[in-house]
Structure 1
Amino acid sequence: MPELGYTLPHWAYWVGLIVFPIVAMALARRPRPERRTYSLSLGYMILVTGGMLGLHRFYLRNLWGLLFIPVFLAILFANAQGQDARSALSDASNTVRVAERTLERERARVSEAEASLPELRAEAEAAEEGSFALRSAERQLQRAERTIERGRATIAEAEAELAEAQPVAEAARADLDYWAGVARWAFYILLAGIALDALLLPAMVSKANGRLSTEDEQEAQAALEDAEETAGDARFVSPGWTGWIDRLSLFCGEFVAYWAVIAVFVYYFEVISRYVFNSPTNWAHEAMYLMFGMQYLVAGAYAMLTESHVRVDVFYARMSPRRKAITDILTSVFFFIFAFTLLFTSWTFAMDAIAVPSGNALVSDWARGEISLAEVAANWDMSQWTDPNIRWGEISFNEWEIPLWPMKWVMVVGGLLLVLQGVSKLAQDLRIVVRGY
């Protein structure tokens, strides 16, 4: 099987987190078609991303997509068997290497000891009885004989291990080549099927649109109406000056919600890379858990606005709106303690993250208090963006080495949004208490 060695560039990660939600939000707001039809562009996107599983045919309600699944499963099975064969080959090859090195070392040692035996025996015979020279010669002779004895035993053991491991290594290598061939040919079959469907897709989309029935259209219209009814987040926007805070929280919540779609594509790529191409990535998991951490922080204000946080409201639910407002005002002190603690702690983390010494980055020097903000502005040039020797602050410790300071600043953004939404909620509660609405 061919292997993938793709590593996501840092700039592509950030561009994706910013551009993808903007595009998705624009598409979500586009006018809905009156008649449901299959999309050729969407079909090609599914072909590219899920063609190995025949998902493009399932999208068009074409059961010929079932033919892709056994071929794909054959690739997974062959790769799994190849992984077992690779492990067996690695173990056997390691045993062979150790045995060969042992034989090389011990044979030289035994040969050297055997060559020294006549000289040592002659020295022992020539030495005077009871002398120190005799005892020394006897000890050297005994040492050489023990070396020969232990060396021959080690050689015999190593030869046995070598004789046992070599056939295992050869068999494992043959299995690995066989299963690699099976996976390779199955992959070529899938590629051929995908290439053929790329040519047939316009006709398949046209045929699928021709099969659309009135029942399908009615189901699509009902689903569209349900979606329009449930898309009522705008009802949480309050009147007056607090409305812009609510709209900001709604926008940020919707923006980061689309990051979950990015996770689907990234983890799909990771699974295909790992189990089909035997090329696990060193960036997918880290990229996604950092993304979900930022999503959790930014969406806090949205959850607060839409009252999505879990709370115990056994007594609260039965209160009148005015009493609820009074209760919220009294308990808001605990919220603001948490929110401001989060904000100021996040600010400290963010400043510490960019203060990490990293080449001649002006931002890091400013964060450490070594230069003023005016000096940063005066000395700023494009090298601060383009010089590969300049790293702004803290980076991750794995091979991907993505900068971590942007995530720390997103914590600040999340804390600030939460404080603003708390201010909006407090203002609305005061309005209800004073004005009654």
Structure 2
Amino acid sequence: MPSLNFSLPHWLYWVGLIVFPAVAMVMSRRARRQTRRYSLPLAYMILVTGGILGLHRFYLKNVWGLLFLPVFFAILIANGQGQDARTTVSELANKVRIAERTVAREEPRIEEARADLEALRASVAEAEQGSVAARLAERRLERAQRTIDGGEERLAEARAVTEAQAEALSAARGDRLFWADVSKVAFWLLLAGVALDALLLPILVRRANAALTDDPVSEAERRLRDAEAAESRKADHEYAENWIDRLSLFCGEFAAYWAVIAVFAYYYEVIARYVFNSPTNWVHESMYLMFGMQYLIAGAYAMLTETHVRVDIFYAPLSRRRKAWVDLLTSVFFFIFAGTLLVTSWTFAMDALAVPTGNALVSEWARGQIGLAEVWSGWGLNQWSDPNIRWGEISFNEWEVPLWPMKWVMVLGGLLLVLQGISKFAKDIRAIMAGDPPDRGPRGAAAEMRETA
């Protein structure tokens, strides 16, 4: 089975986090078609990303996509069995290797002890009985005899292990080669099917479009639109009252599309790990960094749209003016948190720009320990030539992705939260000044409805 050695370039990771949401936001604002049509570019995208699963066929409502699934499952089963066989081969080979080392170690020892045996016996015979020399000679003779007896015993055990495991090792290696061949054949079958469908896809799309009914909206789509219309929650744009609100909405929508990137990244990880036996060293780290940045950027959006998780048993029944008073009182704790986040993230970001062990001008300036004039006066060529100063913090794992952009996203998230807090503070002040609207009751509401009609 071929292996995948692809490692995502750092520049492509950061560019993708910017370009993909921008393109997705532009596409989401396009006018929707009134009639349902299958898209050839979308079908090719599904073919490239999920063709080995037959997803392009399922997209076109073509049942021939079911033929891809057994072959794909055959690859998964073959890889699983091959992994078990590889583990068995490793264990048996280790046992054989230990036995061979035992044989190689004991044979010279036994030969050397046997060679000295006659001389030791002669020394015992020549020594005076009961003397110290006789006792020493007897001990040396006994030690040599024990070496021979113990070595022959270990040698016999090692040779027995080698003979017993040799057949099992050969069988395990045969199983590993068999399952490797099965996975290769299944993989090439899938590639052949994907290549054939790449040629047939324009015809398949035309046939799928021709089979569509003239009904502009399907029953499922109609139900979905009715459910969306019946939803009582305000639309996002209805929350925007100033430029800060619009900025929070934009950043929240921008970061929301990163979840789509995660789908593609983890899909690649699963395929690389279980189909090609090539787990990546970058998917997990790239995604948890991305989700951390998404959490920070979307905080202001969640605050604006009131989607933070909270228990509002006492807050919900209050009038708008009383809610504003409560929000003003509790905003003290919010600004303490948001301000601390902004200040500490600013320090982290400046530290991440220059990671020094001998000079810390940037870090000391960010902490307020020195002034800007002292920074400029201490600047020199050594800032770029000193090997003790590394510009740009990176991660400690094998991928070594730059972390300083993520630290600056922390600053952006803290700044957005502070700005949104200021916007909320101003809205609460206006709500208190305006007061609560009069309660018209059911008759007044009915009269207003008649006037509107």
| Same-fold call, TM cutoff 0.5 | yes
Q: Is the 8 A contact 1:357 1:365 kept in 2?
A: no
Structure 1 unmatched ranges of 5 or more:
none
- Measure, in 2, the Cα distance between the counterparts of 1:74 and 1:311: 48
Q: What residue is the counterpart of 1:64 in the other structure?
A: 64
What amino acid maps onto 2:237 in structure 1? Answer: A
* 1:168–1:403 CA distance, 2 compared to 1 (3 A): same
Q: Is the 8 A contact 2:35 2:216 kept in 1?
A: no
CA shift for structure 1 position 127: 2.4
Q: Is the 8 A contact 2:44 2:56 kept in 1?
A: yes
Q: Is the 8 A contact 1:361 1:391 kept in 2?
A: no
- Measure, in 1, the Cα distance between the counterparts of 2:27 and 2:417: 28
Root-mean-square deviation (CA, aligned residues, Å) is: 3.0
Q: What residue is the counterpart of 2:32 in the other structure?
A: 32
Larger Cα-atom Rg: 2
Give 1:252-267 correspondences, 5 Å limit: 252-267=251-266
Q: What residue is the counterpart of 1:213 in the other structure?
A: 213
Q: Is the 8 A contact 2:351 2:362 kept in 1?
A: no
What amino acid maps onto 2:426 in structure 1? Answer: A
- Measure, in 2, the Cα distance between the counterparts of 1:12 and 1:361: 30
The range that moved more, 185-194 or 28-37, is: 28-37
Structure 2 unmatched ranges of 5 or more:
437-453
What amino acid maps onto 2:149 in structure 1? Answer: E
CA shift for structure 1 position 314: 1.8
What amino acid maps onto 2:158 in structure 1? Answer: A
Matched position secondary structure for 1:214: coil
Q: Is the 8 A contact 1:55 1:65 kept in 2?
A: yes
What amino acid maps onto 2:326 in structure 1? Answer: T
Q: What residue is the counterpart of 1:20 in the other structure?
A: 20
Give 1:221-236 correspondences, 5 Å limit: 222=222, 232-236=235-239
- Measure, in 2, the Cα distance between the counterparts of 1:91 and 1:189: 33
CA shift for structure 1 position 404: 2.4
What amino acid maps onto 1:35 in structure 2? Answer: T
CA shift for structure 1 position 237: 0.3
- How many pairs were matched up? 430
Residues 258-278 of structure 1, C-alpha deviations (whole Å, 9 max, x = no match): 110010001000000010000
- Measure, in 2, the Cα distance between the counterparts of 1:226 and 1:176: 56
Give 1:157-306 correspondences, 5 Å limit: 157-215=157-215, 217-219=217-219, 222=222, 232-238=235-241, 243-306=242-305
Give 1:76-225 correspondences, 5 Å limit: 76-215=76-215, 217-219=217-219, 222=222
Matched position secondary structure for 2:355: coil
- Measure, in 1, the Cα distance between the counterparts of 2:339 and 2:206: 57
Matched position secondary structure for 1:351: helix
- Percent identical across equivalent pairs? 65
Matched position secondary structure for 1:297: helix
- Measure, in 2, the Cα distance between the counterparts of 1:376 and 1:322: 55
* 1:333–1:92 CA distance, 2 compared to 1 (3 A): same
Q: What residue is the counterpart of 1:47 in the other structure?
A: 47
* 1:55–1:361 CA distance, 2 compared to 1 (3 A): farther
- Measure, in 1, the Cα distance between the counterparts of 2:34 and 2:382: 54
Residues 103-140 of structure 1, C-alpha deviations (whole Å, 9 max, x = no match): 11111211111111112222222223333332322222
* 1:52–1:362 CA distance, 2 compared to 1 (3 A): farther
Residues 319-348 of structure 1, C-alpha deviations (whole Å, 9 max, x = no match): 221111111111111111221122223233
Matched position secondary structure for 1:323: helix
TM-score, normalized by length of structure 2?
Answer: 0.87
Residues 406-435 of structure 1, C-alpha deviations (whole Å, 9 max, x = no match): 222222221111111111100110111123
What amino acid maps onto 1:207 in structure 2? Answer: R
What amino acid maps onto 2:339 in structure 1? Answer: F
Matched position secondary structure for 1:115: helix
Matched position secondary structure for 1:356: strand
Q: What residue is the counterpart of 2:312 in the other structure?
A: 313
Matched position secondary structure for 1:396: coil
Matched position secondary structure for 2:215: helix
* 1:325–1:390 CA distance, 2 compared to 1 (3 A): same
Residues 163-187 of structure 1, C-alpha deviations (whole Å, 9 max, x = no match): 2221121111000000000000000
What amino acid maps onto 1:249 in structure 2? Answer: S
